[in-house]
Amino acid sequence: MKDEIKNEMDELLRRVSRRNDATPQGGDTSLPSEHLDSDELNTYAERALPEKTRLRYTEHLAECSKCRTLVTQLSQSSGVERLQNEKAQPSWLAGFFSRFLSPFSWRLAFPVLAAVGIIAIGLIVFRRESPRTFIAERTNETMTEKAQATPVLSDGDNNSSPQSKTPTVSPPVQPQVAGQTGQHNTSSNANVSDRVESAASSAPKDQPAGSAPASASADAAPAPVPAEELTRINVAENQQKLEDLKKEKQAEEERDKATNAKEPPAAAKTRNVDELRGATSTAEKSTSGGALQMSPGFSAGKRERKDDESKNDSETKSLAGRQFRKRGNTWMDTAYNSSMTTMTVARGSESYRALVADEPAIRTIADQLDGTVVVVWKGKAYLIR
């Protein structure tokens, strides 16, 4: 229906327009007395008139083809000018988006984004490595002393494969000698002695690349041995010692299981093992302290080492027939689980005295373990502070 009306009126209006074209007035039913002047034409075309005035001029334009033609021309040219002005002075937001979304910007943006991405990745890697470096630097000296203070064990088992026995010992990473010892970093079968050699061969940056690697033995080392090299040597010794102690511990644990008897010396040895393990791992950290220039196989080794470190960080003690593992400042009973009802008891408090009066073994545990202790006793957990 709408289309029909449109067609009907379209034809009729065109017919009227054709008929009026033939008249001298050119389609205007009445000739206005005065045409619009230039200022009126322009203000109309630029829509700068108040509404009522505009209506008066519209009335004129509807009847005057001359003024209508001029206004049409001016509207089109002012429209072009407006467009040009808009192009020349776009709004802030439109300008921002047009600049941001322009292909030229994106062509530049991709390399910039790529560069930013590379820098970001570099920073992340650097940040992840930095604490390790600082810890290594801080602990370097103390751990070296610790390692030196530890009795050096015999080299009898040097030929055995320590990695097969102590898979938790992390492979050392020597970025400065990565090119020389690449096979050590990538080979999962590399043994500790190899790694010790590679560790020992890693020299300070200013050392010539072709210098002979230092001997694993402290005796064979040149007289002015740098602290870092000493640390590396001690790492090897500590690892060896660790293996021996671990063997002993395993044997004792088997005996413990068989007899279910308390063996404080074994616990002490265990502690020694753990201390040594900690010392070894820290010392190893110190040797890999400058590990900012990574070798390709570094990340995998790093992950392994991290796992090992988390294991090594926790000490284990066995007291009154219970196993305790140190997590931070807390000794946790290995039998503890979070679903247990936990009773908090402060050392020296009335409730503590009552508890140890009933259960003297708990006092033994609490006396021997400093800090916070979580004990599982007769199906109940006690948090002793």
Partner 1 sequence: MVSPVKDRTEEIQKLVKLGATRLLSRAQDTRSVKVEYLTPRISSAVEKYLLRDDPSSSSEDIGQFIDGLQADDLCLIIACEQSDEKAWTDLVERFTTTVRSAARSASANEDAAEDLVQSIWAELYGLRIRDDGKRASKLAYYSGRGSLAGWLRAVVAQLAVDSFRKQSRLVQAEEDSELDRMAQDVSPEDGPVVLIATTQSPEEAITTKLTHEHLEDAVSRALQNLGPDDRLLVKLYYFDNLRLKEAGAVMGVHEATASRRLSRIHADLRKRVSEILIKEKGWTKAETEQSFAEAAQQLDSDLGTLLRNESVS
Least distance between partner 1 and beta carbon 113 (Å)? 39
47's enclosing H/E stretch is none
Instruction: Report the residue number, 50 or 348, with the smaller CB distance to partner 1.
Output: 50
The string of DSSP letters for 11-30 reads: HHHHHHHHHHHTSTTSS-SS
Least distance between partner 1 and beta carbon 24 (Å)? 12
Residues 39-78 that bind partner 1 (CB under 8 A): 39, 41-43, 45-50, 52-53, 55-56, 58-59, 61-62, 65-66, 68-78
Amino acid letter, 213: P
Report in angstroms the alpha-carbon separations of 104 from 97, 109, 110, 116, 184.
13, 8, 10, 18, 49
Q: Is 87 in the site for partner 1 (CB under 8 A)?
A: no
Least distance between partner 1 and beta carbon 31 (Å)? 14
What are the tokens at 4?
């029909």
Report the first-to-last Cα separation within the chain, whole angstroms: 91
Total residues in contact with partner 1, by rule CB under 8 A: 55
What are the tokens at 312?
């090594």
Pick the binder of partner 1 from 25, 31, 37, 370 (CB under 8 A): 37
Least distance between partner 1 and beta carbon 91 (Å)? 19
Instruction: Report the residue number, 33 or 337, with the smaller CB distance to partner 1.
Output: 33
Burial track 193-227 (b if 16+ CB lie within 10 A, e otherwise): bbbbbbbbbbbeeeeeeeeeebebebeebeeeeee
Is residue 211 within 8 Å of residue 175, measured between CB atoms? no
Q: Is 79 in the site for partner 1 (CB under 8 A)?
A: yes
Least distance between partner 1 and beta carbon 33 (Å)? 16
Is residue 246 within 8 Å of residue 165, measured between CB atoms? yes
Rg (CA), the chain: 44
Q: Is 34 in the site for partner 1 (CB under 8 A)?
A: no
Contact letters for partner 1, residues 176-195 (x by CB under 8 A): --------------------
Report in angstroms the alpha-carbon separations of 286 from 213, 232, 243.
19, 8, 21
The residue range among 2-10, 103-111, 308-316, 339-347 that interacts with partner 1, by the rule CB under 8 A, is 2-10
Neighbours of 332 (CB within 10 A): 20
The residue range among 32-40, 271-279, 283-291, 363-371 that interacts with partner 1, by the rule CB under 8 A, is 32-40
Residues 3-22 that bind partner 1 (CB under 8 A): 4-17, 19-21
Least distance between partner 1 and beta carbon 89 (Å)? 14
What residue ranges bind partner 1 (CB under 8 A)? 2, 4-17, 19-21, 27, 29, 37-39, 41-43, 45-50, 52-53, 55-56, 58-59, 61-62, 65-66, 68-79, 81
